[in-house]
Amino acid sequence: MSNPLQAAYYADDAQQVDAKITENRLLARETFLVRLVAPEIASRVVPGQFVMIRIHGLDDPLIGRALAVYDVHSGAAGEPEAIDLVYIRKGKLTRYLAGAAVGSVVTVWGPLGNGFAPDPCEHLIMVAGGIGQTPFVAVAKEALGHQRFGQRQTGWAKRVSLVYGARSADLLAGLDDFAAAGVDLQLCTDDGTRGRKALVPTVLEEVLQQSLQNTSAAAIRVLCCGPEIMMEKASEVAAACGVRCEVSMETPMACGIGICFSCVAKVRQSDGDWDYKRTCVEGPVFPAEKLCWE
């Protein structure tokens, strides 16, 4: 399949598997890490891609839910064996998942979406709010050369920072994983219980100004994931500094493979007009300047 207008084009590399849960633990308040044995997906996925997930044998919820791939875990032979997902307990699927026992099975299909491109830069600044940090452990590991995902190159950034904000300290999840990967952590909380008592775009502006003292704007990249209002403001900060910015959208999805158009976002075209693009297959990562924020 070579026609990018066909859903099969995007799903060509995806597999659907019934995956066994081997770990399901609390990482932070209401936030869990689940490990699913799915070598077919673990060997293909690249940072920023996601999977769709359903509860095996149940039809409520009927529609799958999208979760970003947090990390890939290798087995004893060193081959990719399992995927880690980090989720916040919220509605039907995530409540069920939080109570799922080790050894139980979920249906998962992926990898899906485009992911973040491994474009070389000197300073990679990842920007996350809420549960938006989930794609960034894999991004950091690849960018700093610690782990290969799929067949992609590694070591494409000289240094990596994470500007990460949450309502309060107990919601910040995965900090140890970022620290172990060698990421410079710039934390903020709404209530000041950890890091700066500030909003994410404010901290991003400070990190960018600092970076621009010894790095050219062209050698810095900003990647964002989280609430749309945060990404809109963060992308304005990056644009004001002349720094390239990409955002990962979390529009609700039904099929995940380009068929239902439930996930569309307004994206600017080269002629200046806009068109709806399916976040699941033409995203979730878009150049920030192309998005029409609403």
Ligand X SMILES: Cc1cc2nc3c(=O)[nH]c(=O)nc-3n(C[C@H](O)[C@H](O)[C@H](O)COP(=O)(O)OP(=O)(O)OC[C@H]3O[C@@H](n4cnc5c(N)ncnc54)[C@H](O)[C@@H]3O)c2cc1C
Please pick, from the candidates 11, 37, 131, 208, the single residue that binds ligand X as defined by CB under 6 A: 131
Interactions with ligand X, residue window 221-250 (CB under 6 A): 250
Per-residue binder mask for ligand X (CB under 6 A), 27-66, x = binder = -----------------------x----------x---xx
Instruction: Work out how close the CB of 275 gets to ligand X at its nearest, in angstroms, rounded to a whole number.
Output: 19
Which residue has tokens 């939080």?
Answer: 98
The answer to whether residue 251 forms part of the interface with ligand X (CB under 6 A) is yes
Distances 272 to 53, 147, 249, 266, 281 between C-alpha atoms, Å:
36, 39, 21, 12, 22
- Beta-strand pair 121-129/157-166: parallel
Of 15, 16, 20, 88, the one binding ligand X (CB under 6 A) is: 88
Instruction: Report the alpha-carbon distance of residue 231 to residue 239 in Å, rounded.
Output: 12
Describe the strand order of the beta sheet including 285-287 as a list of residue ranges: 184-189, 157-166, 121-129, 220-225, 244-248, 285-287
Q: How many residues bind ligand X (CB under 6 A)?
A: 20
The 134-173 contact track toward ligand X, x by CB under 6 A, reads: x---------------------------------------
What span, in angstroms and rounded, lies between the C-alpha atoms of 210 and 16? 45
Alpha-carbon distances of 136 from 85, 189, 271, rounded to whole Å: 12, 18, 33
Q: Which residue of this chain has its Cβ atom nearest to ligand X in the complex?
A: 91
Q: For ligand FES, which is the closer residue by CB, 78 or 91?
A: 91
Residue 262, contacted partner among ligand FES, ligand X, none, CB below 5-8 A by kind: ligand FES
Structure tokens at 74: 């290798």
Q: Which two tokens stand for residue 82?
A: 């399992």
Q: Which residues bind ligand X (CB under 6 A)?
A: 50, 61, 65-68, 86-88, 90-94, 131, 134, 250-251, 253, 284
